[in-house]
Chain A
Amino acid sequence: MSTVSPTASGNVIRSEFSSDPDMAEIVTMFVDEMPAKVEKLTQTFAAMQFDELRRIAHQLKGSSGGYGFSELGKAAGSLEHCLMMHADGVATGDPVTEIRSEFERLIDMCKRVRL
């Protein structure tokens, strides 16, 4: 039985494959590694290393769906897209504000990931 973290702002997010015996072991690994990933994302954002942030978001986008967390994958994709737009100078809004908004949304979801 998992408990909801006090920092989470919504319901827990569970893997679409939670009942698949082939996947149980690696979904557990993914969930267990989540706090370290949140920590890494937070540090990278704080240091404004946007290229590195984009790389992590890209990887998360690619892998989350595979573990049955497609919504998380979409949030990571939005952050990646936003970072790309600003890197390319296509976006018009304030970069830090917009990136922060996408970043916070992703972190919030990461914290709600459960088995």
Chain B
Amino acid sequence: MPGCTVSPPRPENIFTQALHPVRSDDSKPILLISDDSEDVHRLLKARLRSEPLDIVSAMSGAEGLEKAKAAQPSVVLLDLDMPVMHGFAVLRELKNDTTLANIPVIVLSGVDQAQDKITAFELGATDYVTKPFDFAELRARVRACMRTSQLLRLLETRAEVDGLTELANRAAFNRRWAQEVKENHRYGKPLSIAMMDADHFKKVNDTYGHPAGDEVLATLARIVRKCSRSSDIACRYGGEEFVLIMPHTHTTEASIVCERIREAVEATVWPRHPEHKITISIGVSGAEIGLPQTSPEAWLEAADKALYTAKKSGRNRVVESFFDTRGPGLAIAS
């Protein structure tokens, strides 16, 4: 009996397995104001009162930087002429931080000089407004930046998601896998990965057409997601291949998850071709301890070899490979 059931395909939130923290839908976008003048904060709060955004205030450059990291604002209003940490220094730091670099920054300045504007834009500012500002105009500029910010966030997410299956794509997998392996090296936490491949997938495409093949892939993705845990990261590796990263999971535990997936795939009745069952072969590779000698590529290759063994030995099965504690040797047990 399969350990999980899968309902028919329906549109799903692509953020279910988001790779980056995504703010919950009920909170408003955040506008961070970094300015040393109390008046500016007061005036902007009054003028932006009716806007659908939450305002976070910082009275210095250093505080602005700190709050940007903590609050991940959608837009930053940044004063240039601040004592101790000048606005340009803050802007430089914001743009050097990969988690903050895409946040649009509107520079506020009392100086209407071309050189300052050039520097601001060269450093990555989105807009430049001189004081005293017209508040209706500033509000319009904030709105424009909010729109840009939303599109950028959407793009960032889209760039990491596979269109057909809505799983993390290959690029996102590569990044995340490298990160998890690094964690394993550093902290010695268990880590497993599974590589899976639909058996005889080409036959589905050839016999029932590509739309049927696409539906199989989308459904397989849903099964992988549903049968794994929320901490696991399911990715489409390419074609009919999927990978499942299982942080803090040793091989035995990973195999149980994979067996659940295999059973659920086998038990699925396909609306377009109920007479044709689909099965999946899975190779698992995990470690209970840190493996500082093993690169992400070598580790993945071990899972791939286990998958190859699963295919060779009759398909529709889960094969484990595990690293020997004495070195990066590979042992395969089926």
Is residue B147 contacting chain A, with contact meaning CB distance below 8 A?
A: no
Q: Does B333 contact A (CB under 8 A)?
A: no
Contacts of A47 in B (CB 8 A): none
Output the least CB separation between A57 and chain B (Å): 11
A29 to B38, CA, bound (A): 12
What's the tally of chain B residues with a CB closer than 8 Å to chain A? 14
A86 contacts chain B at the CB level, 8 A cutoff: no
- B131 contacts chain A at the CB level, 8 A cutoff: yes
Q: Which residue of B lies closest to A23 (CB)?
A: B46
Contacts A22-B46, A23-B46, A73-B132; A63 near B110 (Cβ below 8 A): no
**Min distance, Cβ B48 to any Cβ of chain A, angstroms:** 10
A26 close to B46 (CB less than 8 A): yes
Per-position contact with A for B22-62: 1 when CB-CB < 8 Å, else 0? 00000000000000010110110011011000000000000
A65 and B47 contacting across the interface, CB-CB below 8 Å: no
Query: Is A103 located at the chain interface by the 8 A CB criterion?
Result: no
Secondary structure dominating the interface of A: helix
Does A9 count as interface, using CB distance less than 8 angstroms? Answer: no
Bound-state Cα–Cα, A23 to B49, Å: 10
The verdict on A111 contacting chain B, using a C-beta distance below 8 Å, is no
- State how many angstroms separate the Cβ of B156 from the closest Cβ of chain A: 34
CB-CB under 8 A from B47, the residues of chain A are 22
| A62 lies within 8 A of chain B by Cβ | yes
B15 at the interface (CB under 8 A from A): no
In the complex, chain A residues 40-92 whose Cβ is within 8 Å of any chain B Cβ:
58-59, 61-67, 70, 73
Report the Cα distance A30→B43, complex, angstroms: 10
Q: How far is the CB of B37 from chain A (nearest CB, A)?
A: 6
A-B contact pairs, 18 of them (CB 8 A): A22-B46, A22-B47, A29-B42, A30-B39, A59-B39, A61-B110, A61-B132, A62-B110, A63-B37, A63-B40, A63-B43, A63-B132, A65-B132, A66-B39, A66-B133, A66-B135, A67-B43, A70-B132
- List the 10 shortest-distance A-B pairs measured between CB atoms, nearest first: A63-B39, A65-B132, A66-B43, A62-B131, A26-B46, A26-B42, A22-B46, A62-B110, A62-B132, A23-B46
B residues lining the A interface (CB < 8 Å): 37, 39-40, 42-43, 46-47, 49-50, 110, 131-133, 135
